[in-house]
Each structure stands twice: as C-alpha cells, then as structure tokens.
Structure 1
Amino acid sequence: MMEVEAAKTMFSRSLGRGLRYTTLVADGDCKTFNELQELRPYGDTSICKEECTNHVSKRLGTGLRNFVTAKSKRGTTLGGRKQGSLTQAKIALLQSHYKKAVANYNPQHHLCPTGTRSWCFYNRALAFGKDPPSHKNCSSSSISPHVAEKVRGVYERLTAPELLQRCLKGLTQNADEAIHSTIWSRCPKHLFAGRRRVEIATTITVGNFNIGSTFIRELTEECGCGVGKISIAHGLKRDFARIKRAEKAEMVETKRRKIDMARAVTVAQQEFLAAEGGPSYSSGGGGVKRAFDVGEFL
C-alpha cells in the first residue's frame, strides 16, 4: 500500500501547486489507479491510465511459460529440443519481439522494411538480388504450426485493442524504477526507516544526480564538516566516470550487448527458478517468494 498512499498524497496536493496529474503510468495489476478513481482528487476531471510497455511485454513471457508448464502437466509437450519448440530462449526472444512491436508501433508495421540494410533477412536478400534462404536456418524465433496453434490464445489476449490502446504512447516506468533503486541503496526498503531518513536518502539521491559530488560537498560543509582535497578529487573523478558511462550506454553496440545479456539472464533466471522451486517475481504475480541474484549470471 506504500505506492497507493504516496500516489493519493501526490494527486491530492497537486492542485495547491497549480497542476493536475491527468495520466498515470502503471502495470496491469496496479491498485493505485482504482484508489485514485474512488478518491476523485480533481472532481469531474478524469485520470487516464497508460500501461508500462515493459510490464506488458513481460506478460507475454509469463503467459507463454505458464502455458507450456500447464500443457506439460496434461501430457502435451510444447518445449524440448525439437525444431520449432517453445524453449526458454525462444520465449525470451518472442517477448523481445513483442516489446519491440509495441514500442515501434505505426500503421504500416505489419510490413517488413525493404532494402540492403533491412533487418528482414528475406527482403535483404531480395535487395541484393539473391535467393532468400529458408526461415528454418535464419529465423531463431520461428515456432512450429503445432506450437503456434496452442499459444495463439496468449497472443490474442495480449493484442487486444483495449490493452494496446493504453500502450500507444510507449510510456515506461524505467525512470521511476531507476531512482527508486538508488534511494533504496541508501535506505533499504526491507528494513524499517522513519520518514526523516527516507527524506534524507531522497534528497541526497536527487542532489547527487542533478549536481554531482558538488552537492554532497556543500551539504557536508553546511553541516559544519570540512572536506579535504582528496575527497574533492575523488568526487570529481566519480562524476567524470559517471558521465563517461552514460555516454557509453548511448552507443549502439552497448545497447545491442545489453539486449543480448538481458536475454541470457532471462533464460538463466528461469532455469535457476525451475530448479530451485518457484518464481521470485512475475508480472501480475503480486508478491515475492524468493530472491534471485542476477549478478551470478553476469
């Protein structure tokens, strides 16, 4: 309920600051939107809910994995090593394709791009005047007709117009999740902390992000503590390193490696959880059952 109460407080006090929050970006099982609908902080002015595209894409992976498990218990095998089977790696790739299709939506997206630089191997081969190779050898995300028929319902549920209508803006909660993780690193949310400590952790996080080590130095000096030359130099060095990391993260090659690594971690995580006895978190799962350290796969 922490997120719900925080949202109700923010929406209720916003009019006093001369603004209205008319859009809420949330995942599918978020209770915050229903609470705000009952609160009606702006009277007759409605609040629109937008889906987080990352959470929506996770539903596809979760739905396919649950479907494969359910069918397996009934004696129908959709996974395995057979060509076209729905393996964990295949599900991770299909989830990636679904997310890309939602994020890059446009009225002509059902057609593959043409030309020599197209990502479509078939149209790329035609552009070079060559015979296109078979899908079996070039498409790592292909699934057999038998499997496609079984999982069709999962795709129909996740391509419903009502759901995709809330994804048209391509919004995401990534920025919020990023600052939350930084705040929790200074004030762990699994341990009790008073309001003052949370406010201090938030202030330091925001100030360090916007200003850098200069904010920490000025804050320390305001508290009556001196800062030595070595500490100042270390802070400037850390700021420089952060800027370089940010510039590197925007490089195309870095983004490609990050996507490949994310797929590998997803597969490794599912194999780990399957062996250890259950999921730690799933989209719409509503809880955490066990912790999983992604670091051991990196």
Structure 2
Amino acid sequence: MCRKNGVCVGLRYTTLVADGDCKTFNELQELRPYGDTSICKEECTNHVSKRLGTGLRNLVAAESKRGTTLGGRKQGSLTQAKIALLQSHYKKAVASKSATVGELSKKIWTTFYHASSTDCNPQHHLCPTGTRSWCFYNRALAFGKDPPSHKNRSSSSISPHVAEKVRGVYERLTAPELLQRCLKGLTQNANEAIHSTIWSRCPKHLFAGRRRVEIATTIAVGNFNSGSTSLRELTEECGCGVGKISIAHGLKRDFARIKRAEKAETVEAKRRRVDMARAVTVAQQEFLAAEGGPSYISGGF
C-alpha cells in the first residue's frame, strides 16, 4: 500500500471478520475482487459461541422426539440455564486468543470434561493445576487435601448420560477448520457500535434518502472517533461557526459517555450483564418453543 496525494493506493481488505450467518464471504469468493489475491475469513467469537447454545438446544429437542430426556429438573440435566453457562465457558475459551489450534481445542475440552466429571469418574486432567486453579478438584490436590464431592460444586455439571450425547456437539465445534478462524479472538463489536451510532441518527426501519444517510454517517463517524466536539470541525468545513455553549455542551456529553463506559467496565457491571443475558436467553428459548421453533439459526450459512 502506498499514498498518492494523501490518498491510499492499492489498499486491499484481505481479511473479513464475519459470522456463519453471513453470505457476504461466499459472494466475495465468487466475485474475486482482487483477482488472484484471496480473502481470508475470521470468525466473530460472539457468533461462534452461539453455535454451542444452538446445538445443545437442538440436541435436547431432537432427543426428546426420540423419547430420551436430556432436560428437566433432575441433577445433571441439560437445562436452559446450564446451556447458557456452557456457552459462556465456550465463548471465554474461543475469545482467549490462543496461539495454536491445539491450545484452543484443549481450552474448550477442559470445560467439557470439568462439567462432565463425577465422584466415580473425575476428569480434571486438562484443568489447570496449583493452589490458584479455578478447578476445585485440582486446587484441593495442590493443598494436599482430599478433593470434595462433585455434587453441587459446579453449576455447569452434566450427568454421564447427558455428556455422552453432548460430546458430538463439542466435536463439531472443535473442528480444526473452525478453530483456525478463531485464533485471533476477533469480534464485530466495533462494527455493531458504529452501526448503532448511525441508526440512532437515521433509523434503518424508516426510509431515508441518500443525502440524509450520508449526513448521518458523517456525523456518526465523527462522533464515534472524536466525540461530540467533532461537530465543530464539520460545521467549520461547511462555513458555519459553533458557539461556546455548543462546545461546552459537547464536552459535557463526552465526559458523561466516558464515565458510563468506565462504569460498564467494572466487574460488578459485567457480571450483571452476563446474568441479564442468560435470563433473556432462557426466556427467548421458552417463547420460541411455544411458538413452534426459531426463525433464526446461528451458523446457518
């Protein structure tokens, strides 16, 4: 890439961060916009993690039709809350930016074996060791104590019968081809954030002309990158001035946004968002089950 008169020449986007529900990558493969230069696809870790939840919920429904019960209130059953928790563990592993596919695969299988362990068959060989390990079993061994019972020790525990059925889903979602596209731990969060900023000024569910969309996008990009005070530069380019009151108001908005962002990064706020997301997921699945099935499938393409 080089610059000519301040403009990038020869710039090529050779990496696409997308999810399995997007057909864009398939169309780019057919169009080949850069000729022999190929475009690589990196998976969005947020969307990849949804595939585990979708796969487990589909498994529960499919086994129920065959007369096998995986859900319910019985100890070790695959409840909606437990599916959300297993999905959360899978997401943390995928987003950990592992160096190799083998390392990432090990992290994912660690969560599976830890959840499927029992007193008769403890499977903590992949869990971290030492006195500061998050695994209660290996932590007890590090202190030289007898490991406590597995009963009620893990909120994500599943029975051996359920683990046997669930293993197939984990094998599919630890395929080397999929994990290779997850090593960088990339997400579409930045894209979703700028889209939200644009839609707040130009709602996508309402018709708008091209000029209005361009204006909304310009203002949103400036606000996204430089804050509310970026409007000053925009108005100056248009030959208009901005008064002191408008500048002060913009600075006040930017300060309030920074404070909200800092608060959202606290451990308490993150835990609250996780709990709310799990509750919403459970409620949505119960509603979809009552309506006869979902209209959206994660990893559908």
Q: TM-score, length-normalised on structure 1?
A: 0.78
Report the secondary structure of 1:202's partner residue.
helix
Unaligned stretches of 5+ residues in structure 2: 95-117
Cα distance, 1:55 vs. partner? 1.1
CA contact (8 A) 2:82 2:155 kept: yes
> 1:175-220 CA deviation, whole Å, 9 max, x = no partner?
1112112211221222222222221111111111222221234545
Structure 1 pair 45–104 and aligned structure 2 pair: CA distance change class (3 A): farther
Structure 1 pair 227–43 and aligned structure 2 pair: CA distance change class (3 A): closer
Distance, in Å, in 1 between the alignment partners of 2:188 and 2:5 is: 22
Q: Which moved more, 1:97-106 or 1:67-76?
A: 97-106
2:23 match? 31
CA contact (8 A) 2:288 2:294 kept: yes
Q: Which moved more, 1:215-224 or 1:178-187?
A: 215-224
> 1:43-62 CA deviation, whole Å, 9 max, x = no partner?
11111111111111101101
Structure 1 pair 248–150 and aligned structure 2 pair: CA distance change class (3 A): same
1:108 match? 123
Structure 1 pair 23–14 and aligned structure 2 pair: CA distance change class (3 A): farther
Distance, in Å, in 2 between the alignment partners of 1:14 and 1:108 is: 59
Report the secondary structure of 2:13's partner residue.
coil
> 1:133-170 CA deviation, whole Å, 9 max, x = no partner?
22222111111111112222222111111111111111
Distance, in Å, in 2 between the alignment partners of 1:151 and 1:13 is: 58
Structure 1 pair 19–279 and aligned structure 2 pair: CA distance change class (3 A): same
CA contact (8 A) 1:50 1:171 kept: yes
Determine which structure has greater relative contact order: mean sequence separation of CA pairs < 8 Å that are 6+ residues apart, divided by chain length: 2
> Which runs of structure 2 are paired with 1:256-267 in the superposition (5 Å)?
256-267=271-282
Cα distance, 1:115 vs. partner? 3.0
Unaligned stretches of 5+ residues in structure 1: 1-11, 282-293
CA contact (8 A) 1:85 1:147 kept: yes
Structure 1 pair 206–109 and aligned structure 2 pair: CA distance change class (3 A): farther
Structure 1 pair 259–163 and aligned structure 2 pair: CA distance change class (3 A): same
Q: Which moved more, 1:13-22 or 1:258-267?
A: 13-22
Report the secondary structure of 1:184's partner residue.
helix
Structure 1 pair 219–274 and aligned structure 2 pair: CA distance change class (3 A): same
Report the secondary structure of 2:184's partner residue.
coil
Cα distance, 1:276 vs. partner? 4.9
CA contact (8 A) 1:125 1:131 kept: yes
Q: Give the RMSD, CA atoms, in angstroms.
A: 5.8
CA contact (8 A) 2:52 2:87 kept: yes
Q: Which moved more, 1:213-222 or 1:119-128?
A: 213-222
Report the secondary structure of 2:229's partner residue.
helix
CA contact (8 A) 1:105 1:168 kept: no
Cα distance, 1:80 vs. partner? 0.4
Report the secondary structure of 1:16's partner residue.
strand
Structure 1 pair 15–69 and aligned structure 2 pair: CA distance change class (3 A): farther
Cα distance, 1:227 vs. partner? 5.6
2:78 paired residue among 71, 86, 92: 86
Report the secondary structure of 1:138's partner residue.
coil
CA contact (8 A) 1:64 1:151 kept: yes
1:247 match? 262
Distance, in Å, in 2 between the alignment partners of 1:67 and 1:13 is: 58
Do structure 1's residue 60 and structure 2's residue 73 form an aligned pair?
A: no
Cα distance, 1:221 vs. partner? 6.4
CA contact (8 A) 2:119 2:149 kept: no
Cα distance, 1:297 vs. partner? 27
Equivalent pairs: percent with the same residue?
90
Cα distance, 1:263 vs. partner? 2.0
Cα distance, 1:296 vs. partner? 27
CA contact (8 A) 1:14 1:20 kept: no
Q: Which moved more, 1:128-137 or 1:44-53?
A: 128-137
Aligned residue-pair number: 275
Cα distance, 1:106 vs. partner? 26
Distance, in Å, in 2 between the alignment partners of 1:173 and 1:105 is: 43
